[in-house]
Amino acid sequence: MSHADIATARASTDAVRGAPMLDVRNLTTHLTLRRGVVRAVDGVDLHVHEGETLGVVGESGSGKSMTILSILRLLPRQTGARIGGSIVLDGQDLLQVSEKTMSEVYRGRKIAMISQDPLTSLNPVFTIGDQVGAPLRHHGIARGEAARRRVVEVLDSVRIPSPDARLNDYPHQFSGGMRQRVVTGMAIASAPRLLVADEPTSALDVTIQVQMMALFRKIQAQTGVGIILITHDLGVAASICHRVAVMYAGRIVETADVRTLYKRPAHPYTQALLNSIPHFGQKKERLFAIQGSPPSLIDPPAGCRFAARCPHRKPLCDDAYPPEVELESGHRVACWLASGT
């Protein structure tokens, strides 16, 4: 199926649910490094509706974080990144927007990000009151007393006890879980449309993870924010995602709503990932090691990128990259098996 066909298929779903808030088409991110051009993200399509949580699952190096950084256009200068495709948020293509607008209008305001390590995400020499209020002040949302009140409100909504008293405290005075909640608060303070969370719970222990997921659900219910949740943990993905996209070697290999993905995974990679889980919902620390390793992103193979490690490998798989097919509504997969040859 071509991009056009998928668009049509999706259009019919949209007719039911409304157009997606975030619509990423054919996103490519190529980094120019010393060793060559790395095709970190190589033609990614994904979309998120309001109030929906999309999980992006994959092993490290698959391009999950790169996708997010590309959406936010936060790739460091040294990488010589070139981003192609389209990233449409509420009708505006972010790749056509100036850097100034990105910084003033989108980052920290319409799109917010939470990253992995709560222990280092907060500036140690500034109070949390100052830090949580910073996006508010710099985006012109609130100043002075109004900003202070909003900060207290936000901290309260992320369940920081006695927020008023703790405004002048420093990050090291909070536990890891609380810090992650503070960071979450900072992210939602300006009521963003899209929240991107890059492995928000991998640095925290299990009980905190459960709390964080509950918090995300609550925020989503209250504000209708769309969430992209990046994780390598299928259990976490299962707990709050509506839909899941599986990423491998810079491309999305399978997308489905969460139940379908876990019950009827179509792509061999997804199946392999799921095989490491005894039952649905039981948490695993790490993905089990599938034989072999991902291909080079500088010079990726012409055919299916998972072929080398796939138990169902056929000659065709090495020759050409499988097109995306829609198996059932909302369930798409890029695999020759599904294309039925």
Partner 1 sequence: MSIAKRLLHGLVSILGASVIIFLISRLSGDPLALLLPADAPPDVIEQTRQHLGLDQPLVAQYLKFLGHALTGDFGNSYRWQEPALGLILDRLPATVELALAALAFSIAMAVPFGVLSAVHRGSWFDRFAKVFAMVGQAMPNFWVGLLLILFFAVQLNWLPAFGRESWSSLVLPAIALGWYPVAAQTRIVRSAMLDVLDSDYIRMGRAMGLPERVLVWKYALRNAAIPLVTILGVYFAAMLGGAFVVEVIFAWPGVGRTVVEAVFARDFPVVQAGVMLTSVLFVLSNLLVDLSYSLIDPRIRHG
Phi-psi region of 144 (alpha: psi -120 to 50; beta: other; left: phi over 0): left
Note whether 10 and 41 are within 8 A (CB).
no
Among 108, 177, 185, 295, binds partner 1 (CB under 8 A): 108
Number of residues that bind partner 1 (CB under 8 A): 31
Q: Is 58 in the site for partner 1 (CB under 8 A)?
A: no
CB of 197 to partner 1, least distance (A): 12
Name the residue nearer to partner 1 (CB basis): 13 or 223.
223
Sort strands 92-93 and 36-48 into parallel, antiparallel or unpaired.
unpaired
Q: Is 65 in the site for partner 1 (CB under 8 A)?
A: no
**Which among 166, 310, 162 is positioned nearest to 249, based on CA atoms?**
310
Name the residue nearer to partner 1 (CB basis): 117 or 326.
117
CB of 155 to partner 1, least distance (A): 16
Q: What stretches of the chain adopt beta strand conformation (E)?
A: 22-33, 36-48, 53-57, 82-89, 92-93, 111-114, 194-198, 226-231, 243-248, 251-257, 324-328, 331-334
Name the residue nearer to partner 1 (CB basis): 112 or 253.
112
Among 40, 83, 112, 182, binds partner 1 (CB under 8 A): 112
Name the residue nearer to partner 1 (CB basis): 178 or 325.
178
- Looking only at residues 135 through 194 of this chain, which bind partner 1 when binding is defined by CB under 8 A? 135, 138-139, 170, 172-173, 183, 186-187
What does residue 161 show for φ and ψ, rounded to 5 degrees?
A: -70, 145
Name the residue nearer to partner 1 (CB basis): 157 or 180.
180
Residue for token digits 């990050």? 171
CB of 114 to partner 1, least distance (A): 9
Q: Is 32 in the site for partner 1 (CB under 8 A)?
A: no
CA dist., res. 297 & res. 265, Å (int): 25
Note whether 298 and 36 are within 8 A (CB).
yes
Site pattern 87..106 for partner 1 (x: CB under 8 A): ---------------xxxxx
Query: DSSP 3-state helix, strand, coil percentages of the chain (rounded to 5)?
Result: 40, 25, 40
Q: Is 123 in the site for partner 1 (CB under 8 A)?
A: yes
Angle formed by the axes of helices 128-138 and 144-157, nearest 10°? 120
CB of 127 to partner 1, least distance (A): 9
| Listed ranges 57-65, 84-92, 109-117, 260-268: which one lies at the site for partner 1 (CB under 8 A) | 109-117
Name the residue nearer to partner 1 (CB basis): 115 or 239.
115
Maximum Cα–Cα distance across the chain = 67
What does residue 178 show for φ and ψ, rounded to 5 degrees?
A: -65, -35
| Listed ranges 133-141, 202-210, 256-264, 285-293: which one lies at the site for partner 1 (CB under 8 A) | 133-141
Among 120, 275, 276, 282, binds partner 1 (CB under 8 A): 120
Tokens of 80: 């010589």
DSSP-derived secondary structure for 119-167: HHHS-TTS-HHHHHHHHHHHTTS--HHHHHHHHHHHHHHTT-SSHHHHT
| Residues near partner 1 (CB under 8 A) | 72, 74, 102-109, 112-113, 115, 117, 120-126, 134-135, 138-139, 170, 172-173, 183, 186-187
